[in-house]
Amino acid sequence: MSYDTVIWEQAGAVGRVTLNRPETLNAWTADLGRDLKRAITVDAADPSVRAVLVTGAGRGFSSGADLREGFHPADDGLPDVRKELHQLYHPIIVGVRRLEKPVVAAVNGPAVGIGASLAFACDLLLAAESAFFGLAFVNIGLMPDGGSTLFVPAAVGKARAFQMALLGERVPARQALEWGLVNQVVPDDRLTDEAGSLAERLAGGPTRSYASSKKALGRMLYPELEAQLDLEAELQHALARTRDFQEGVAAFVEKREPSFQGA
């Protein structure tokens, strides 16, 4: 199936998902959410696919949610973030974790916000030297979602998880490697080849062994994934209805520093 905002390709037993809004550094819209959800839960789930590679077109993996599009309103006119997370974003994250095959992320350029969450949901992460990660939600008055409140502390521990969530700073690729967020950092011009070779190696391996390891490790590391996603959705929904969020988005669009009031 062809998509407008995602490219799905299958070569042999390797399925490749490419976020394809390069003009926005692959920012997430509702359309991208719908396309990516189907690519992960339908195309990548096909038994003929034995390993999956996720990456972004152009200069970035994903810059997060497209704030210029915003969120669809609820009946009261305020953003219905809960619905969007439950219907679009979180099924993608759960879909990646439930795939009974290895999922490799090839992170080229920025992986920010929900883009970072998607990368962290994958089983193995390769990052280009120029890549960086960021839980930038706080910069617009929100909190991490997409499972990052689970994936990040499991990888880096309490101190660094709070640092990423509360400060929203960039974590360059080399630092991400030191912290345990990624498995390997490679030169930019080698990322595609290295990630492709890894995916092909996995596709030729013992698929049922991989699936069992993924299930057992997932049970150990993320036993409450869906409950955590539900909690994130409730908290994020409330934050998206604050004046601080409105100010954060306005400041982002106007390219200025926000003035948060705690309300």
Q: What is the pLDDT of residue 63?
A: 97
Burial of 122 (0-12, 13-18, 19+ CB in 10 A): buried
Of residues 39 and 74, which shows the higher confidence score?
A: 39
User: Would you state the pLDDT for residue 218?
Assistant: 97
**Is residue 259 included in any domain, yes or no?**
no
In a domain, 96, yes or no: yes
**How far apart are the C-alpha atoms of 99 and 232, rounded to whole Å?**
22
Contact 172, 163 (CB under 8 A): no
**Does the structure show a pLDDT above 80 at 11?**
yes
Q: What is the mean pLDDT of residues 237-252?
A: 95
- Region 228-251: what's the mean pLDDT? 96
> Predicted confidence band at 70 (pLDDT cuts at 50, 70, 90)?
confident
Q: Grade residue 73 by pLDDT with cuts at 50, 70 and 90.
A: confident
CA 51 centroid distance within chain: 18
Residue 257 pLDDT > 80, yes or no? yes
CA–centroid distance for 59 within its chain? 16
pLDDT, tens digit (0-9, with 9 covering 90-100), for 94-117 = 999 999 999 999 999 999 999 999
- What is the total count of domains within the chain? 1
C-alpha–C-alpha distance, residues 19 and 34, integer Å: 12
For all residues of the chain together, what is the average pLDDT? 96
Parallel, antiparallel, or unpaired for β 171-172 and 132-134? antiparallel
Q: Is 68 left (phi over 0), alpha (psi -120 to 50) or beta?
A: alpha
For residue 24, tell me if it sits in a domain. Answer: yes
- The answer to whether residue 71 scores a pLDDT higher than 90 is no
Closest CA to 236 of 80, 69, 115, 66: 80
**Averaged pLDDT for residues 163-189:** 98
Beta partners for residue 111, in sequence order: 62, 133
Both structure tokens of 10: 């299958």
Please determine, for residue 159, whether its predicted confidence score (pLDDT) is greater than 80: yes
Domain that holds residue 228: 6-188+220-254
Give me the pLDDT at residue 51, please: 98
CA 62/CA 27 separation, integer angstroms: 6
CATH number where 169 lies: 3.90.226.10
**Residue 67 predicted with pLDDT over 90:** no
In a domain, 42, yes or no: yes
For tokens 């209805």, what's the residue? 241
pLDDT in tens, 112-141: 999 999 999 999 999 999 999 999 999 999
SS (H, E, C) 23-85: HHCCCECHHHHHHHHHHHHHHCCCCCCCEEEEEECCCCCECCECCCCCCCECCCCCECHHHHH
Mean pLDDT, rounded, for 226-246? 97
Q: Closest Cα to residue 104, out of 209, 4, 212, 214?
A: 214
Model pLDDT, residue 91: 97
Q: What are phi and psi of 54, to 5 degrees?
A: -120, 130
Structure tokens at 142: 């929100």
Cα separation values, 261 from 91, 162, 247, Å: 33, 21, 9
Q: Considering the chain, what percentage of its residues have pLDDT values greater than 90?
A: 93
Mean pLDDT of 189-212: 98
So what's the pLDDT on residue 94?
A: 98
